Structure formats: C-alpha cells, structure tokens
Amino acid sequence: MRRTLLSCTSLARHGLLGLASALLSGGTASAAELSLAEAVAALNHQEFAVLTTALALLGFSVVAAILLMRTRTRAAKNESKLKSEIAELQAQTDRLRALLFAEPQVLISWPAGEDRPRISGDISLLLPQDQQQTPQRILAFGAWLPPEPALQIDHAVDALREKGEGFLLNLSTSTGRAVEAMGRAIAGQAIVRIRELSGVRRELAEANLRYRTLQEETELLSDFAAAAPWPIWAKGGRGELRYANAAYVKATHAASVNDVLQRNLELLESDQHGDMSRALNDSGAYAARLPVVVGGERRTYDVQALKFGSGSAAIAVDASEAVGLRAALTRMSEAHRRTLDQLSSGVAVFDASRRLAFYNESYRRLWGLDQAFLDGHPDDSSVLDRLRANRKLPEQPNFRAWKAKLHEPIARWNRRPIPGSCPTAARSPSSPRPISKAASLICSITSPRASTWRGGSTV
C-alpha cells in the first residue's frame, strides 16, 4: 500500500510537472508537439485517477489554507474588538463607579432569589468605628436610626423585596446626620441607596419636611374649622370669599360651600361689613358684638377678625345666651339695689378685693362719710381708717392689731372647704364680730373665694 501511494505520488508529481511544462511551452512549441488534450488522452486510466486525486488534494489544501487564514484573521479582529470593548466597558464601569461614589453613600442590593445582600460604599457614613468590620450591621436599622424611622425603613424594605414597591425617605440618624434612603426594583434586583444629604438636596429635604408639617397642620385646622359650630370664613386680598365652613353655609341659607363661594354671600349686614373692613385696614384686627339675623331669628354674635398678608379671617361666636344672662343679672342686681336703697339700715357691699362695691344712702348718713370718698371705691381698711379719723370708732390701744383681729372671722370663713357641688354660694358667719354698739359686720361670699362685707346699723 505504501509502495502504491509512493508511486501515485510520483506519478502525480511527474504528471503535474509534465502538464506544467506543456502549459508553459505551449506558446513556443512547434505544431509537431503534442497538445495538452492529446497528452491527457495519452494517459491511461490509472494515471488519470492519480492525477485527479492529486489535483483534488491540492485544491482542498489550498481552499483549507485560505479558509484557515481568513478564519484566523477574522478571529484576530474579533479578539481585538472584544478586548477593546472590554477595556471600554471597564473604563465606563470605573467612571460610573467613581461618579456613583463621588459622594458618601451606601448601596444594598438583593439579587433575585437570594436573601444575602451585597453591600458596597462608604459604610462609615452610617456605622460607628467599632461596627465597621461587619457591613451587615447596616441592615440592623435600629443601630443607627431612632426607633420610629428604623421601623419605617424596615417596613419599606420589606415591601420593596416582596412587592417591588419603591420608596424615598428622608431620615435623621442617631448622630443627627440627615440621610436619604431610596429603594427601587431594577432588573430583578431590590436596590436600596442611602446617601447623606447636603447642599441643595438637604434644603429640599428640609423644605419637604416643613411642607408635610404645614400640610398636616392645615388639614387639622381645616377639619376643626369645618366641624366647628360657629361660622368661620376667610377672604382674599381683594375681599372675595375664599373659605367658609358648614356653620357659615347654614347661617347664610346657602346650598353648599361652593354656592357660598360662587355667590360671595355675606353673613354681616353691609354697614357691619364696612365697619369691619375699615377696622382691618386701620389696625389689622376687629372685635365687636353684633346682631345678626340667622334662620329668621335675631341673635347676637361676638365677631373676631384678623388681617393677614394674603387676606383676612373671621369667626362669629353666638353670644345670645351670654347676653341674655347678663341682662337678667343686671335686672336682678338693679332690683336688689333698689331694695337695699329702700332699707332704713345702712348697707355696704365690698367685693372680693375688699373694695366698696355698693352702699346705700342710709350707710352714708349713718357714718357721715363723704359721697366722693365712697364713690372712689375704697377698701374696708380705708373705710375703718376714715371712721377712726372721724371718731366714729372707739379708740383702741393697737388699732392695727384690732383691725387684723376684726378680719379673722372673714379669713377663717374663706379658708373653709368649698363643697365641690356648689361652685357659687352665699354664707354669713354664725357669730359676726361687732364693730361697735351701733353697727355689725356681715360676710357674704359670692364666689368660691370672693368675700364681701356689709356693715349696717343694728340699733
């Protein structure tokens, strides 16, 4: 077999050489030389098979070599391209990482289906020096946050990992550092970024916090005003109605708050409204007790209004009951005054500060006191001093001690416990101390600690 192959190779080599020489010398050979066709025809079948095989092997080798060279060239180009892309991606990754960690922050990521987080960044932002060896301590939010914010971010992280719900929280650490915690679900991963707030972001976070606080206060005040039983309203800078509560709607017989605002209904009369506008423009405040017709009934309201930078606000409190009680009390007081004035005995009433509140003519004549002096509302001590100066009282060795002793029954009476079920009571001591043979002292308490004195003749 080996000998056959060698002979085939020799034949192929000699045949190829002969063919090549025939092709090269074809142009110069004489007409007598054999042509290529004749040379091929002169070959026997065995030599023709060997020649064909040799040509096929040669063609295959050439094609394989060409393809190999092209493949190697293409592979080299792809390798160079991939290396360039890798270098570019690495540079881009470095730039993004440098940009990402240009400010202190911590990134926590949970890949899909994994419970162990990957933590990167500056953990010294959150953890103290003694806990920085274990970055997992960052997940113990109570270690660097107060209890309430720690619970808030813990619930937010649970919702992010379980439901993919993002969050953005502005927090303050236990050391007083303002940080922002943002959670997002990106490419199947739950990512939490915690960074320190500074500059514009810090101001924005503080502004958001103030906004939320003001919003809560506004909602609270708005709910209170809406539920208040008194008419409350607010106006803009041009006098247009901007707000009205349900009590204002009811008092103006409107269908709804929108109806009141659209029709700009006024609770007060035109002259009352004009007085309030002038007072607000002059002093920025208005307070008056005004009659207002509500539901076909004339009632009395205490109207309070204040002017602000963007408008004014007012409230009207129903004072009809207080006005009625004051009128009844005034009528009762006048009736008592007329009754006391008709007595032949002298009567004087001192208020809680022991100043003269009332006296009748019999009291003035009894002691011979000047009317101007009594109209000045002197206290009981001054009255006793005036009586002593007018020699209406017997001389005492120690007048000051005598006056103090005289006031002891009243002081003891004031120190008596007041029954809780009776906030207003009237009492008199069981044995009042006499001032003189022609007068007696009576104590009347008209409030839990208010004392009044009455002195009159007891001939």
Q: Identify whether residues 72 and 110 lie together within a single domain.
A: no
Q: Identify whether residues 57 and 117 lie together within a single domain.
A: no
Q: Identify whether residues 253 and 283 lie together within a single domain.
A: yes
Kindly report the three-state secondary structure assignment for every residue of 52-87: HHHHHHHHHHHHHHHHHHHHHHHHHHHHHHHHHHHH
- Dmax (CA) for the chain in angstroms is 191
Q: Identify whether residues 301 and 241 lie together within a single domain.
A: yes
Q: Is residue 137 a contact partner of residue 143, using CB atoms and an 8 Å limit? A: yes
As a whole number of angstroms, the distance between CA 272 and CA 296 comes to 18
- HSE at residue 203, side-chain half, CA atoms within 13 A, is 2
Using CA atoms, how far residue 167 sits from 56, 384, 426, in Å, is 73, 80, 68
**Any domain includes 68:** yes
**Any domain includes 249:** yes
Q: Identify whether residues 94 and 9 lie together within a single domain.
A: yes
Task: Give Cβ neighbours of residue 237 (< 8 Å, ≥ 6 apart).
Answer: 310, 311
Domain end (from 196, 220, 238): 196
DSSP character for 450? Answer: E
- HSE at residue 4, side-chain half, CA atoms within 13 A, is 4
**Any domain includes 210:** no
Cut 0.75: pTM above it: no
**Any domain includes 442:** yes
Which CATH number does the domain housing residue 149 bear?
Answer: 3.30.450.20
Which CATH number does the domain housing residue 434 bear?
Answer: 3.30.450
Q: Identify whether residues 286 and 375 lie together within a single domain.
A: no
Domain end (from 61, 85, 100): 100
| Closest to 103 measured CA to CA, from 205, 198, 204, 190 | 198
Q: Identify whether residues 372 and 449 lie together within a single domain.
A: yes
Two tokens, residue 153: 């971010």
pLDDT of 42: 63
Q: Identify whether residues 48 and 8 lie together within a single domain.
A: yes
Domain end (from 100, 124, 144): 100
pLDDT of 75: 93
Q: Identify whether residues 175 and 96 lie together within a single domain.
A: no
The total number of structural domains in the chain stands at: 4
Averaged pLDDT in 10-residue chunks for the chain of 459 residues: 43 46 45 53 72 87 91 92 92 80 82 84 78 80 88 92 89 83 88 84 81 90 90 88 90 88 88 88 89 83 89 90 87 83 81 82 84 87 84 82 76 55 35 34 36 35
Distance of CA 155 to the CA centre of its chain: 19
**Any domain includes 89:** yes
Q: Identify whether residues 251 and 167 lie together within a single domain.
A: no
Q: Identify whether residues 351 and 446 lie together within a single domain.
A: yes
Using CA atoms, how far residue 365 sits from 226, 232, 254, 287, 456, in Å, is 61, 55, 63, 44, 11
Domain region containing 111:
101-196
Q: Is residue 197 a contact partner of residue 113, using CB atoms and an 8 Å limit? A: no
pLDDT of 106: 87
Residue tagged 């909602």 (tokens) = 219
**For 326-343, b where at least 16 C-beta lie within 10 A, e where not — what string?**
eeeeeeeeeeeeeebeee
Q: Identify whether residues 410 and 450 lie together within a single domain.
A: yes
